[in-house]
Chains A and B, each alone.
Chain A
Amino acid sequence: METHVRAGAGRPVLLLAALIAGLALLCLLSLAFGALNVPFGQVAGALIGHRESTAVDNVIWSVRVPRTALGLVAGAALGLSGALMQALTRNPLADPGLLGVTAGGGFGVVIAVGVLGLGTLYGYVWFAFAGALLASVVVYLLGRLGRSGLTPVKLALAGVAVSALLSSLTSAIVLTDSDALNRYRFWSAGSLGDQNGATVLAVLPFIGVGAVLAIACAPALNSLALGEDVAAALGRRPGLVRVQGVVAVTLLTGAAVATIGPIVFLGLVVPHVARVLAQWAGLGPDHRWLLPLSALIAPGLLLAADILGRMVDRPIEIQAGVLIAFLGGPFFIAMVRRRRLAEV
């Protein structure tokens, strides 16, 4: 989509409106469809507090509402953290999965749940943060080793190596306990269907703070994109921006991993989609737009995958993470082939 048309001022507004409308539609679909056939009238009735049957009320309020809400917040978290990481590392292939953050968060959760036996989100979410932060720092330090300093390729290699190490440690812990193994397999496939409303509310503050920190980084990221020296000349402090960015990524990824498991691809693909759309709207590579756009697109994709997973093989559900990997892979390859990835 190489358009050099001078986009009218209407395009960004149109784009935002379309994305918000699409997301709202997906939310409605997510509330309307599932393993149990509930007539739309009853769905609407249950939502407005009109007592339908206990079974319908329970399915809507204890399954579909939390699930939809979780799709929104966790999706937004993953989209934001992907966009943020690509901007911080100036690497178009960066995402929390590639750079070890997801594996770190997962390792933390497994230690907390599998070894220490913590059962509540407030118990283990801190371990997810600690794991995510530790992994990002280790990857960063490894990526800086050697004469050439920090290069995108070295950073990616370090990320892959640290992810592999953490995944094998995670497996080693999980394999010693078949019960934990079963829970882990379910969680590691990335599902929205196993969390209740309380968990969604519990995770909200972390994702909220992470999102604010991330969006607040946007102007500085625009300067960073011009190179460290330029950014410094513009009065930014690259070191400080990085710290803020890493804290945001840790909060966002850690919280998402702790609730829905390590979902791959979303953080990688979504920022590229956001860039294509921003270009169409004539906005250019402006992070003040790219971050919010990513936060709108990612939950849409996650909800779409989740709805599809519910409907393919009813009443058996396929985890959203499986479908995202399954559909996201080919999509990403197609995108890379069609156009050179926009420079970050």
Chain B
Amino acid sequence: MLQAPRRTRSLAALASLLLTLGLVTACGSGKAASPAATGSAGGAFPVTIAHKFGATTIKAEPKRIVTVGLTDQDAVLALGKVPVGTTEWFGGFSGAIGPWAKDRLHGAPLPTVLKDTGTGPQVEKIAALRPDLILAVYGGLTKKQYQTLSKFAPVVAQPKQYNDFGVPWEVQTKTIGQALGKVGEADKLVSGVEQRFTQIRDDNPEFKGKTAVTATPYEGYFVYGSQDPRSRNLASLGFTLPADLDKLIGDKFGASISKERTDLLDQQVVVWSVSNVAKDAPKLHADKLYADLNVVKQGREIAVGEDTPYGIAYSFVTVLSLPYLLDRLVPQLKAAVDGDPATKVEQPAN
């Protein structure tokens, strides 16, 4: 499950209780800073990157990179560097490097895997890796954690225009590109994946304008908001997210909604991210409120299992995992939205 990007609901609940005036800040439609592309990495430094807690200057080309952001390792690998430390999200991958990124190691030793069980980054272990750059772009560092980590190396925290754990993959890639002095390469990588999205949209006009929602069973039903990478992904494929989604969820990447609002899942396609498809799909259908929805009766649901690399790729959403994901997700989406309940949504072969 998504252990890291979650505080206990009770804390959030207390906070929202105290904030009787729920001042939901409007989500800024932040533009990624796209600095002028410079050539070789050497000439790109010093570089200054703005983020939620101010700005960080990186004086020289980083050699020992530690990624605290849960998916930041992919952008680093895509840009031809191998981090010395990565942070585990779902487990199961040596070095916390998914099959979509394995070939980027080029025989380099696997990074040391750090864990964050909800208590924050493992500061001592990170310090022991002697980093000269700490990346926490897809993450939710607190100011205090940021200040602590900054004692050891420059830290690039999550951008302030997005919710924590809400940075789009293209911004993540370009930000990390800046930090590594490889702006041009990052731009090229991003446009490569964007072309892939354009191609899929052109090939599947039936996706356009269909409503989609993505959720996971957690404290009832945890529904991802429009800023979550998984939701952004469905939008990039042409789908529309439910109009009142963010009104219900507020300024978080997602929230557990009351069972009474299970109707929010009744869209033209619902994608579940579950621990284990075989075990969890029947559990979902045991809930009458969910089982009675049209999305179920008409076979427009997809379940991806976090016990498979595909399921993890679904949550990863990075410049490297996306091609791997789209190969598997697009056929499932086609089967789900074809309007024919008889077509079964098959699990990908691998």
What residues make up the interface of A, taking CB atoms closer than 8 Å to B?
Answer: 34-36, 54-55, 58-59, 62-64, 175, 178-179, 181-182, 185-186, 189, 193-194, 309-310, 312-319, 322-323, 326
| Other-chain residue from B10, B117, B249, B263 in contact with A319 (beta carbon distance below 8 A) | B10
Q: How far is the CB of B91 from chain A (nearest CB, A)?
A: 8
Q: Is A315 within 8 A of B261, CB to CB? A: yes
B205 contacts chain A at the CB level, 8 A cutoff: no
Given contacts A179-B275, A316-B257, A319-B13, 14 further A-B contacts (CB under 8 A): A58-B288, A58-B292, A63-B289, A175-B117, A185-B8, A194-B220, A312-B13, A313-B16, A313-B22, A315-B248, A315-B257, A315-B258, A315-B261, A326-B17
Q: Is B10 within 8 A of A63, CB to CB? A: no
Q: How far is the CB of A143 from chain B (nearest CB, A)?
A: 31
Q: Is A322 within 8 A of B3, CB to CB? A: no
Given the known inter-chain contacts A36-B260, A326-B17, please indicate yes or no for A178 contacting B9, CB distance below 8 A.
Answer: no
Q: Is A193 within 8 A of B220, CB to CB? A: yes
Q: Is B259 within 8 A of A63, CB to CB? A: yes
Contact mask for chain B residues 1-37; partner A; CB cutoff 8 A; 1 contact, 0 none: 1010000111001101100001000000000000000
Given the known inter-chain contacts A189-B10, A318-B13, please indicate yes or no for A59 contacting B260, CB distance below 8 A.
Answer: yes
Q: How far is the CA of A59 from the CA of B292 in the complex (A)?
A: 11
| Other-chain residue from B1, B17, B289 in contact with A179 (beta carbon distance below 8 A) | B1
Q: Is A193 within 8 A of B258, CB to CB? A: yes
Kindly list chain B residues whose C-beta atoms are within 8 Å of the C-beta of A185.
8-9, 219
B256 contacts chain A at the CB level, 8 A cutoff: yes
Nearest B residue (CB) for A178: B3
B255 contacts chain A at the CB level, 8 A cutoff: yes
Q: How far is the CB of B4 from chain A (nearest CB, A)?
A: 9
| Other-chain residue from B3, B14, B261, B264 in contact with A326 (beta carbon distance below 8 A) | B14
Q: How far is the CB of A185 from chain B (nearest CB, A)?
A: 6
- Chain B: interface residue total (CB-CB under 8 A): 31
Q: Is A317 within 8 A of B220, CB to CB? A: yes
B218 contacts chain A at the CB level, 8 A cutoff: yes
Q: How far is the CB of B132 from chain A (nearest CB, A)?
A: 31
| Other-chain residue from B258, B264, B288 in contact with A62 (beta carbon distance below 8 A) | B288
Q: How far is the CA of A184 from the CA of B268 in the complex (A)?
A: 32
Kindly list chain B residues whose C-beta atoms are within 8 Å of the C-beta of A58.
288-289, 292
Kindly list chain B residues whose C-beta atoms are within 8 Å of the C-beta of A34.
258, 260
A-B contact pairs, 17 of them (CB 8 A): A34-B260, A36-B260, A63-B259, A63-B289, A182-B219, A185-B219, A186-B220, A189-B9, A189-B10, A193-B220, A316-B13, A316-B249, A317-B256, A317-B258, A318-B9, A319-B9, A322-B13
Q: How far is the CB of B251 from chain A (nearest CB, A)?
A: 12
Kindly list chain A residues whose C-beta atoms are within 8 Å of the C-beta of B3.
178, 181-182
Kindly list chain A residues whose C-beta atoms are within 8 Å of the C-beta of B218.
182, 186
Given the known inter-chain contacts A54-B292, A59-B260, A182-B218, please indicate yes or no for A312 contacting B117, CB distance below 8 A.
Answer: no
Q: How far is the CB of B277 from chain A (nearest CB, A)?
A: 14
Given the known inter-chain contacts A55-B263, A179-B275, A182-B3, please indicate yes or no for A316 contacting B288, CB distance below 8 A.
Answer: no
Q: Is B260 within 8 A of A315, CB to CB? A: yes
Q: How far is the CA of A186 from the CA of B8 in the complex (A)?
A: 8
Q: Is B257 within 8 A of A35, CB to CB? A: yes
Kindly list chain A residues whose C-beta atoms are within 8 Å of the C-beta of B263.
36, 55
Q: How far is the CA of A193 from the CA of B220 in the complex (A)?
A: 8
Nearest B residue (CB) for A193: B259
